[in-house]
């Protein structure tokens, strides 16, 4: 292992975001219901979250359920919510051992009262942990987030807390779900699709995207390592030369 970082070497990303895509196609290829794909995807998430912690990644943001995913069948939506509830119950039980900090990006009000409470409990009880922070994008959409941020700022202007001219690129992030969280340096989308799908539209302005032709349930540490190595090969100029 090298003791010193090479000159101009891109460091390990502090914040990795993943669009967890391909569960349904993984199940279809095996003649299984889509819910089986989501169950397999949930296990992949557990493995990747643990692996990120061993790598020293500080923030992991995952696209768990979008504002558009409500269009799917009631059976599939119910299955996804059940898996999330099971995961959060386990996480609450193992919290003192795993030391994972939780945040939730999205409008939780459409979730069941029980699931909303699990999210709030996980977020509040894990707040003091300083290992990896996992941000779940749940009932989340990038455009919806920006609209809500604009409305929140407008309300502050109307109440006299802010002046309209105070809105800048440095102020708007304070009104996003991700307030206080650094933007992701690396965003990974498995499954072979090459689009952002309304994910972290503001935060991804200078993120490096890596698209991979592997379905999410088949994604593992080897694929994450490959994505990080690809990220490190990039020349991140941020608009400069």
- Which ranges of 66-112 does DSSP label H, i.e. alpha helix? 74-93, 95-98
Which residues span the domain enclosing 119?
Answer: 15-141+184-233
What letters, b where the CB count within 10 A reaches 16 and e where it falls short, cover 121-143? Answer: bbbeebeeeeebbbbbbbbbbbe
Active-site residue, from 50, 69, 98, 198: 69
Cα separation, 232 vs 11, in Å, equals: 7
Q: Is residue 229 part of a domain?
A: yes
Q: Is residue 152 part of a domain?
A: no
Residue 232 neighbours by CB distance under 10 Å? 15
What integer best gives the mean pLDDT of the chain? 93
C-alpha distance from residue 81 to each of 44, 85, 86, 88, 141 (Å): 17, 6, 9, 11, 17
Q: Is residue 177 part of a domain?
A: no
Question: Token pair of 35, please?
Answer: 């819910």
Q: Does the annotation count 69 as an active-site position?
A: yes
Q: Does the annotation count 21 as an active-site position?
A: yes
Active-site residue, from 21, 135, 139, 144: 21
Q: What is the CATH number of the domain that holds 92?
A: 3.40.1180.10
pLDDT tens, N- to C-terminus, the chain (241 residues): 444 445 556 789 999 999 999 999 999 999 999 999 999 999 999 999 999 999 999 999 999 999 999 999 999 999 999 999 999 999 999 888 888 999 999 999 999 999 999 999 999 999 999 889 999 999 999 999 999 999 999 999 999 999 999 999 999 999 999 999 999 999 999 999 999 999 999 999 999 999 999 999 999 999 999 999 999 999 877 776 5
């Amino acid at each position: 292992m090298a003791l010193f970082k090479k000159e101009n070497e891109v460091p390990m990303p502090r914040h990795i975001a993943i669009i967890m895509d391909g569960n349904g196609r993984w199940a279809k290829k095996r003649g299984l219901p889509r819910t089986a794909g989501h169950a397999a995807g949930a296990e992949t998430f557990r493995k990747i979250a643990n692996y990120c912690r061993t790598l020293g990644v500080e923030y992991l943001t995952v696209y768990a359920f979008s504002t558009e995913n409500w269009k799917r069948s009631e059976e599939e939506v119910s299955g996804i919510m059940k898996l999330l509830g099971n995961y959060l119950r386990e996480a609450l039980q193992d919290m003192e051992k795993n030391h994972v900090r939780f945040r939730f990006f999205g409008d939780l009000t459409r979730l069941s009262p029980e699931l909303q409470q699990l999210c709030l409990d996980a977020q509040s009880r894990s707040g003091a942990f300083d290992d990896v922070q996992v941000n779940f994008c749940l009932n989340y959409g990038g455009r919806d987030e920006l609209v809500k941020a604009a409305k929140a700022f407008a309300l502050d202007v109307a109440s006299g807390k802010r002046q309209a001219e105070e809105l800048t690129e440095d102020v708007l992030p304070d009104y996003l779900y991700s307030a206080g969280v650094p933007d992701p340096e690396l965003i990974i989308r498995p499954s072979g699709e090459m689009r952002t799908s309304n994910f972290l539209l503001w935060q991804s302005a200078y993120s490096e995207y890596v698209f991979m032709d592997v379905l999410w349930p088949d994604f593992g540490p080897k694929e994450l390592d490959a994505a990080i190595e690809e990220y490190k090969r990039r020349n991140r100029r941020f608009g400069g030369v």
